[in-house]
Amino acid sequence: MTDSIARLRTAGVSVWLDDLSRERLTTGSLAALRDRGVSGVTTNPTIFAKAITDSDAYAGQIRDLKLRQAPADQALRELTASDVRQACDVLRPVYDATGGVDGRVSIEVDPRIAHDTGRTVAEARALWWLVDRPNLFVKIPAAKQGLPAITACLADGISINVTLIFSLARYGEVIEAFLAGLERARAAGRDLSGIASVASFFVSRVDTEVDRRLDKIGTPQAAALRGKAAIANARLAYQRYEQSVSTDRWKSLERAGARPQRPLWASTSVKDPAYDDTRYVTGLVASGVVNTMPEGTLNAVADHGEIPGDSIHGTYAPSQAVLDDLAALGIDYGDVVLTLEDQGVTAFDASWDHLGQRLATALGTQKE
pLDDT in tens, 100-135: 999 999 999 988 888 899 999 999 999 999 999 999
The average pLDDT across 236-243 equals 98
Quick check: 236 pLDDT over 50? yes
The average pLDDT across 177-198 equals 98
Task: Report the CATH number that the domain containing residue 217 is assigned in CATH.
Answer: 3.20.20.70
Quick check: 306 pLDDT over 70? yes
| DSSP, residue by residue, 148-171 | HHHHHHHHTT--EEEEEE--HHHH
Domain assignment of residue 250, yes or no: yes
Which pTM was predicted? 0.95
Q: Is residue 139 annotated as a catalytic residue, yes or no?
A: yes
In this prediction, residue 99 carries a pLDDT of 96
Quick check: 339 pLDDT over 80? yes
Helix (H, G, I), strand (E, B) or coil at 55: coil
In this prediction, residue 1 carries a pLDDT of 55
| Rounded Cα–Cα distance for residues 211 and 200 (Å) | 22
Domain assignment of residue 138, yes or no: yes
The average pLDDT across 307-318 equals 97
Q: Quick one: pLDDT band at residue 291, thresholds 50, 70, 90? A: very high
In this prediction, residue 353 carries a pLDDT of 87
Contact between residue 49 and residue 355 where contact means Cβ atoms under 8 Å apart: yes
Q: pLDDT tens digit string along 78-97?
A: 999 999 999 999 999 999 99
Whole-number mean pLDDT of the chain?
A: 94
Q: Quick one: pLDDT band at residue 272, thresholds 50, 70, 90? A: very high
| Segments of 195-314 assigned E as strands | 197-202, 262-266, 289-293
Domain assignment of residue 332, yes or no: yes
- In the chain, how many domains are there? 1
The average pLDDT across 152-160 equals 98
| Rounded Cα–Cα distance for residues 46 and 351 (Å) | 5
The average pLDDT across 226-252 equals 98
Domain assignment of residue 256, yes or no: yes
Active site residue: 139, 228, 251, 271, which one? Answer: 139
Domain assignment of residue 337, yes or no: yes
Domain assignment of residue 368, yes or no: no
Quick check: 366 pLDDT over 80? no
Rg of the Cα trace of the chain?
20
Residues 6 or more apart whose CB falls under 8 angstroms from that of 337 comprise: 166, 167, 169, 170, 206
Q: Which structural domain, as residue segments, surrounds residue 288?
A: 2-363
